[in-house]
Structure 1
Amino acid sequence: MAADSETIRQLKLAETFFNHSVSCLVILDREYNFVRVNQAYADACRRDIAEFEGRNHFEFFPSDAQLIFDEVVRTKRPFITFLHAPLSLLINLSAELPIGTGLWYRC
């Protein structure tokens, strides 16, 4: 019984973190369909949370980034990138981009 209550406590803690994080969090399945997003992610995408469930990431955000996603899944290694432009420049640039367009920087 103690293990069950500890598991429930940990699940509630993870749920609270996911729901209230100011960081954008998203869970995708192996085909890059949205399983779940948090409010910060939905807000950043200017969409309602309900719009994501069961939809494909690349349906919403078409790009060649699928090659990067495929490599991460294949190798099980994270993709790490570094920001080379000042944040103020990125903020100004992002205001000019259509919704769903990302800025990718690769070393």
Structure 2
Amino acid sequence: IRTHIERIRKKDGDIFESKHITKDGKRRNILVNSKPITIGGKVYFQSIMRDITERQRIEETLRESKARLVESNQLLEGVLEHTHMMAVFLDPQFNFIWVNHAYAETCRHEPSFFPGKNHFALYPGKEVQAIFQRVLDTGEPFYVEANPFEFHDQPERGVTYWNWSLMPVKDGTGKVTGLVFTLAEVTGRIWAEEKLRESEKHLQSVFQTMVEGVLLIAPDGKIVEANSAAERILGLS
């Protein structure tokens, strides 16, 4: 913990994984995003936590089953076709081999439209293509959250946001023979978070412009926050 606190202080924040055991003995893997915030002139550490146990379990399952997936594309299709996530199977040249209905529907095509077409011919992106190439070269999976993307053929959607992962599929010699690309749209969540930030900003503006003095006091009696009127009345400013 001390190490992470030092990182937060020196780097103005830290993202790390932590293991936690619940009261009923269950193990949880937690992704923690911590940063310093100032409230009433005092520095606190704000930590936002996400339970990634299930995500890591799924990723581990995918890693363990890669050899079987290479030998049986039908099994891969059967699993991914019935998941809520959008799923794609690509060859080493990033050509579509197979997509599930969820992916095709989002892209407004039939599943039969994709096989044989190149992913980056349909959806250009140098940065993303570099990531795909790195996974192909290193054999290491990649995962990103809330990645922005604009459909050039669906401009009315504007900027959308996606959690997506790229898993290499290897043969018995360890050579990457394909890529499993899975996506989940989180645009609604990102918009909601943005609206919340705007709402908080508006409330803070109202708070600071009130004629009456308002204080936020902690249980120990310390003033956590005071608006401008309160600072003027009490001579705090």
TM-score (norm 2): 0.31
| Matches of 1:17 and 1:71, distance apart in 2 | 26
Structure 1 position 42 matched with structure 2 position 109: no
Q: Which amino acid aligns with 1:83?
A: A
1:76 aligns with 2:139: yes
Contact 2:88/2:100, CA 8 A, preserved across alignment? yes
Aligned pairs for 1:1-107 within 5 A: 14-64=76-126, 65-83=128-146, 95-97=157-159, 103=161
Q: What is the total number of aligned residue pairs between the two structures?
A: 84
Give aligned-pair identity as a percent: 35
What is the CA deviation profile of residues 53-107 of structure 1, one whole-angstrom value per residue up to 9, with x for unaligned ones?
100000110111110100111111112223389xxxxxxxx8224xxxx6579xx
Counterpart-to-counterpart distance in 2, 1:81 and 1:70: 15
Structure 1 unaligned regions, length at least 5: 1-6, 86-93
AA in 2 matched with 1:66: Q
Specify which structure has the bigger relative contact order, considering alpha-carbon pairs within 8 angstroms and separated by 6 or more residues: 1
What is the RMSD computed on CA atoms of the aligned residues?
A: 3.0
Length-normalised TM-score, structure 1: 0.64
Aligned residue number for residue 7 of structure 2: none
Gap runs ≥5 in structure 2 = 1-67, 149-155, 164-237
